[in-house]
């Protein structure tokens, strides 16, 4: 790979394209491009200093620090600073960043004016958030990153990440016939999000719980939405376009679009005494247990381990039911499917924590976006700095060209 991080690195172990069904592509040509594995799985397509996931070790990091350690000891603002500026803030940088980012939670008047029609559109929360952030990017005057220097790009990123909780909360309230609540710059990002959503400042425990969740979900390797954002950044587009594109990818159920399904399972179980029987029924039918399993982590998902503790600290029946259900799934799998050793993933306890913080179920994915916008922005800025377009190829497998164009019939 080149030092600019953008040469597509095709591993020598890549399987050649299957010829079945390939009628038109010249795969035999010595000049044919290499074929990437399905889903680009295992293929390195960029260099990054933002962070990484080591699935086999159950470890992920932001820059050079363990993300779990950051979540246990630092605020979202510290980690937001780390992701964008490449270092944790010192005390005076922290004070300055807290003040500057909090001030920028306030929405420009043009955005406030547009939100009621977006909220009345009948679209889902993620579509509404995309529309709201597209308007916010325009109102902030975001310019194509190709035309903007690094200082201004960073400034744009701080401003865009700052407005996400305000837009999510305002759209939610408008959709429920309530007036949006102005940000309070004396509060941290997590606490103010909950206040703007519910109308009441959260207690210390809930504010800290959500802060931990935001840190844990701010970035996670080269996932689908991050890659989407980087592809858009590679075109030189403005940061708003990158974030709105990434939101589209995040909205899919295979990525971030189904975090409430683990809670649906807890609803179905209802009583801890029923956990074993309900889980056994699902597993016997060959169904997937929501909130279990992960494509990258082989054993424990470190986000789930910490969120399980956060849920226990917050207390409540749900946390207890979740713990009993987790144990039931592990037991039933060991009995019925010893070949399938599944552990909880980030979604299992995230739903419990968010519910306990007073976040409605239909805003779980939008809340994920409140933090992930920081990771997307760091990646988009890193990509934009390379000034290289990501432009892979596809293998044509349709009917062989050039067939004669049929004579047009009728008018
Ligand atoms: C997250 C997930 C998509 C990762 O999957 P993966 O590691 O790529 O594995 P696959 O989807 O290829 O599944 C491999 C096998 O394990 C099974 N499996 C995977 N997760 C399972 C689960 N949660 N419950 C029961 N079986 C599961 C699959 O059914 C499949 O079985 P098969 O080979 O008999 O068809 C998968 O674990 C899943 O669907 N989990 C439930 C949904 C969820 O919690 N999503 C949030 C992810 S953060």
Distance CA 183, CA 201 (A): 11
Q: Which residues pair with 52 in a beta bridge?
A: 61
Name the active-site residue from 77, 276, 347, 382.
Answer: 347
Place of tokens 């290499």: 34
The average confidence (pLDDT) of the chain is: 91
Residue located nearest, by CA, to atom 29 of ligand 1: 288
Q: How far is CA 265 from CA 261, 271, 341, 347, 349, in A?
A: 7, 11, 19, 12, 12
Distance CA 234, CA 232 (A): 5
pLDDT of residue 253: 81
Q: 3-state DSSP call for residue 60?
A: strand
Q: 3-state DSSP call for residue 322?
A: helix
Residue 103 and residue 117 in contact, taking contact as beta carbons nearer than 8 Å: no
The tally of CA atoms less than 13 A away on the side-chain side of residue 217 is: 31
Ligand 1 atom having least distance to the Cα of 292? 23
E strand segments, 38-159: 51-54, 59-62, 65-66
At residue 54, φ and ψ (nearest 5 deg) are -110, 90
pLDDT of residue 393: 93
Ligand 1 atom having least distance to the Cα of 345? 48
pLDDT at 9 over 70: no
Distance 126 CA to ligand 1 centre (A): 24
Q: How far is CA 198 from CA 128, 180, 202, 204, in A?
A: 19, 10, 9, 15
Q: Which pLDDT band holds residue 280 (cuts at 50, 70, 90)?
A: very high
Distance CA 106, CA 397 (A): 51
pLDDT of residue 20: 39
The angle at the Cα of 177, spanning 175 to 183, to the nearest 5 degrees, equals: 80
Full-model pTM: 0.91
Residue 204: CB atoms within 10 A of its CB come to 9
Decide if 347 is catalytic.
Answer: yes
Distance 251 CA to ligand 1 centre (A): 19
- Greater model confidence, 313 or 259: 313
At residue 242, φ and ψ (nearest 5 deg) are -65, -45
pLDDT tens per residue across span 202-221:
999 999 999 999 999 999 99
Handedness of CA 224, 228, 231, 236 (dihedral sign): negative
Distance 362 CA to ligand 1 centre (A): 23
Distance 134 CA to ligand 1 centre (A): 34
- Greater model confidence, 130 or 41: 130
Residue 319 and residue 350 in contact, taking contact as beta carbons nearer than 8 Å: no
Decide if 294 is catalytic.
Answer: yes
Q: Which residues pair with 62 in a beta bridge?
A: 51, 65
Name the active-site residue from 294, 355, 379, 382.
Answer: 294
Distance 235 CA to ligand 1 centre (A): 34
Please enumerate in sequence order all residues whose Cβ is within 8 A of that of 374, keeping only pairs 6 or more positions apart, or say none: 76, 79, 80, 83, 84, 161, 218, 219
Residue located nearest, by CA, to atom 21 of ligand 1: 288
| Residue 10, phi-psi category: left (phi > 0), alpha (psi -120 to 50), beta (remainder) | beta
Handedness of CA 123, 127, 129, 131 (dihedral sign): negative
pLDDT tens per residue across span 313-341:
999 999 999 999 999 999 999 999 999 99
Residue 300 and residue 58 in contact, taking contact as beta carbons nearer than 8 Å: yes
Helices (H) and strands (E) in the chain, counts: 16, 3
Contact residues of ligand 1, CB 6 A cut-off: 288-295, 340, 342, 345-347
Of the candidates 79, 111, 83, 71, the residue with the CA atom closest to the CA atom of residue 98? 79
Of the residues 250, 288, 330, 338, which should be mutated to test ligand 1's pocket, given the most ligand atoms within 8 Å of the CB? 288
For the chain, helix, strand, coil in percent to 5 are: 55, 5, 40
Distance CA 356, CA 350 (A): 10
Ligand 1 atom having least distance to the Cα of 348? 44
Distance CA 315, CA 210 (A): 14
pLDDT tens per residue across span 76-131:
999 999 999 999 999 999 999 999 999 999 999 999 999 999 999 999 999 999 99
Length of the chain: 411
């Amino acid at each position: 790979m080149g030092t600019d991080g953008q040469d597509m690195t095709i591993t020598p172990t890549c399987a050649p394209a299957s010829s079945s069904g390939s009628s038109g592509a010249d795969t035999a040509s010595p000049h044919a491009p290499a074929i990437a594995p399905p889903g680009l799985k295992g293929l390195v397509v960029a260099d990054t200093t933002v962070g990484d996931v080591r699935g086999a070790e159950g470890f992920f990091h932001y820059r050079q620090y363990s993300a779990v350690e950051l979540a246990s000891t630092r605020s979202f603002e510290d980690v937001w600073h780390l992701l964008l500026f490449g270092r944790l803030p010192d005390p005076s940088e922290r004070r300055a960043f807290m003040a500057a980012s909090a001030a920028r939670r306030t929405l420009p008047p043009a955005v406030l004016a547009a939100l009621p029609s977006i909220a009345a559109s009948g679209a889902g929360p993620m579509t509404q958030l995309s529309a709201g952030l597209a308007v916010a990017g325009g109102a902030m005057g975001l310019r194509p990153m190709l035309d903007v220097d690094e200082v201004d790009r960073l400034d744009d990123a701080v401003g865009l990440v700052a407005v996400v909780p305000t837009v999510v909360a305002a759209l939610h309230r408008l959709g429920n016939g309530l007036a949006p609540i102005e940000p309070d710059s004396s509060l941290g990002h997590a606490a103010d999000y909950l206040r703007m959503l519910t109308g009441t400042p959260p207690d210390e425990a809930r504010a800290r719980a959500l802060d931990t969740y935001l840190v844990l979900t701010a970035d996670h390797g080269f996932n689908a939405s991050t890659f989407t954002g980087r592809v858009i950044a590679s075109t030189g587009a403005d940061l708003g376009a990158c974030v709105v594109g990434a939101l589209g990818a995040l909205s899919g159920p295979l990525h971030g679009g189904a975090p409430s399904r683990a809670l649906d399972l807890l609803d179905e179980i209802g009583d801890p005494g029923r956990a074993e029987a309900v889980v056994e029924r699902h597993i016997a039918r060959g169904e997937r247990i929501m909130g279990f399993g992960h494509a990258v982590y082989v054993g424990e998902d470190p986000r789930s381990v910490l969120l399980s503790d956060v849920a226990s600290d917050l207390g409540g029946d749900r946390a207890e039911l979740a713990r009993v259900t987790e144990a039931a799934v592990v037991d039933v799998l060991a009995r019925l499917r010893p070949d399938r050793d599944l552990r909880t993933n980030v979604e299992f306890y995230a739903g419990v924590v968010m519910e306990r913080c007073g976040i409605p179920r239909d805003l779980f994915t939008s809340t994920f976006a409140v933090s992930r916008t920081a990771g997307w922005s760091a990646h988009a800025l890193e990509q934009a700095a390379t000034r290289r377009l990501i432009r892979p190829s596809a293998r044509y497998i349709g009917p062989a060209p050039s067939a004669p164009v049929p004579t047009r019939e009728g008018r």
